[in-house]
Amino acid sequence: MAFQIDRIRIRGSAPEWRSDRERWQAEYGRRVRAGEALVLVAAVGAAQLIRFGGIDKNAQLTAWSGDARIGYSIISILLALAWFSFLVIGNTGSPGVPGAGVEEYRQITSATLRLFGLIAIVSLLGRMDFARGYLAIALPFGLLGLLGNRVLWRRYAAAQRRKGRCRTAVMVVGGPDAARQMMTCFARDPAVGYSVVGVYSPYDKDVAGDPGLPDLPIITGSTMTVLDAVQETGADIVAVSATEHLGPRVINDLVWQLAPLGVDVAVTPGLLDVADQRMSIRPIGNLPLLHIAKPQYARSRSFGRAVFDLAFAAFALAVVSPVMLIAAVAIKLDSRGPVFYRSERIGLDGVPFRMIKFRSMFVDAEQQRAALLSHNEGAGPLFKMREDPRVTPVGRILRRYSLDELPQFINVIRREMSVVGPRPPLPGEVERYDGKVRRRLLVKPGVTGLWQVSGRSDLSWDESVRLDLSYVENWSMVQDLLIIAKTITAVTRSDGAY
C-alpha cells in the first residue's frame, strides 16, 4: 500500500514543536476563563448587594438546626469558587469546546444546573436555611453572564478568523473530491476558521496537479510519510476520508503518531446536511457505530408546532399592525392598484394557496416581465433583478427590510404556512422538481427559513434547495427558534434583499 506511516515515537520530554493553533487556543481559553471569573464575582456580589444591601454581618446562613452559622460574605466566596470549579470539571474550557456554539452553551448550562442542584440537596440534608432570594438572583445573573461572555468571545474569534487569523489548518487524507467537498463546507461557515491546506492521497494512482485544486499541494503516499506531509503543510488537523482504504489499525497508528505533535485526527463519515441531534455514536464491542435517525419532517406537523405558529403569528400581527397600517397608506399614495398582492404558491403536500404580500410593484409588472427576461439575475427558475424597473419607490423600501412579507402571518393564521419553513415555491418551480426536490413539500412553507438567514436572493438555486432539504430532514423546534432570532439580524442588515 502506498500510504506510509512512521514508527511511533514516544517522547518523555516536551514535543519538539507545537502548532500555532494550540498557542492561540490556550490564549483564547485563558481570556474566556478570566471573563468567567469576573462574571461569577459580579453575579454573587450583585446577589449579596441586592438581597442584603452589601456586607451585612447579621446576614448568616444557619445549618444543622442552628448549630452552625456562616456569614453570606463567606458563602458568596465559596459559591463563586464552587461555580468556577464546576465549569472546569465540566470540561467547558477544553480546546474543542470554545467557539463551538450550542454545545458550548449546553455544557455551561449543564455545569451550572448541576451545581445548584447539589446546593439544593446539601441544603435539604444539612437543614440549611439558604436565603432563596439570594440564590434566585445569583443563578440567572450568573448563567446569563456566563453565556453572554461566551457569545462575546465567540464573536471576537469569528471576526479574527474572517480576517485570516486564529485559523485551523486541515490536511485531507483522501482524494481530491473529498478535499473539494470539505472546502465547500468550510466556506459556508467561515467563522469556524477551518481551511484546507493540503491533500495527502493514500491511493496508488497519481493525483498530483489536480486541476480542481490549483492552489493546494497534493501529496501521494509514494513520495513521503503522513508525518512529513503534516510538517510540509503545517496542518493542525488531519481529516481522514479514505477510511475504507486505510483500515482501523492504520488510523489508530496515525492518531498515536500525531498526538505528540499536537495535531488532531478527525474522521469524516461521508455525510452531508445531517443535524447533530440525528447522529449518535454507539460502541458495540470495539466498533463505534454512527447511527443516523430518520428524517424529522413528520414532527413538524405536530399539534405543538401548530399552536406555536398560531400564537406567534397572532402576537406578530398585533405588534406590527401599526407598521402594516403605515405601509398600506404609503402603497396607496405611491401608485395606483391594490394594497395587497396575492400570488399562487404551492404548500404542504403540493396543495396550492394564495400567499399574501404587500404590493411592491406596479400593477402591469407581469406584462413587462417578458421584456426583462434577458436581465434575469435569479437562481434556477426564479426571476430576480437587483434594479427591477417594475418595483415602485415604496416597494423598494418594503423589500429592503422585508416589510412586504409581513402579511404572510395571515397565511400562518389560516394554517397555509408556518412561521419557519422552506421558501414558498411557485407552481412553475414545482413542475420542474425532481423526486428529491419535491421533499420540500413535506412541510409547510415558512415566512422565514434557512434561506432567509443565509443570503436570500444572493443564494444559488442549488444552495437554496440544499438549505430547504436540510431543514425538512432535520426539523426541530430549537432550530426554528434560532432561525427566528437570526431573521431579525438578517432583516436589519437587508443582505440579499431586492
- Cell numbers describing residue 219: 501529496
Average pLDDT over residues 157-184: 82
Mutual orientation of helices 477-493 and 303-334 as an angle, nearest 10°? 20
Sole residue written with cell 427576461: 373
Domains observed in the chain: 20-162 (no CATH), 168-272 (3.40.50.1980), 299-493 (no CATH)
- Cell numbers describing residue 295: 428524517
At residue 14, the pLDDT reads 42
Q: How do residues 33-67 score in pLDDT, each as one tens digit? A: 999 999 999 999 998 888 877 665 555 655 555 55
pTM of the model: 0.69
Give kind and range of the element (H or E) at residue 223: none
Average pLDDT over residues 437-446: 91
Give the highest mean pLDDT range of 214-218, 231-235, 373-377: 231-235
Indicate if the pLDDT at residue 5 is higher than 50: no
At residue 204, the pLDDT reads 54
Average pLDDT over residues 349-360: 93
For residue 240, the Cα-to-chain-centroid distance in whole angstroms is: 24
CB 297 within 8 A of CB 475: yes
CA gap 131, 202 in Å, rounded: 64
Indicate if the pLDDT at residue 226 is higher than 60: yes
CB 204 within 8 A of CB 245: no
At residue 17, the pLDDT reads 42
CA gap 274, 471 in Å, rounded: 10
Average pLDDT over residues 74-91: 89
CA gap 104, 142 in Å, rounded: 16
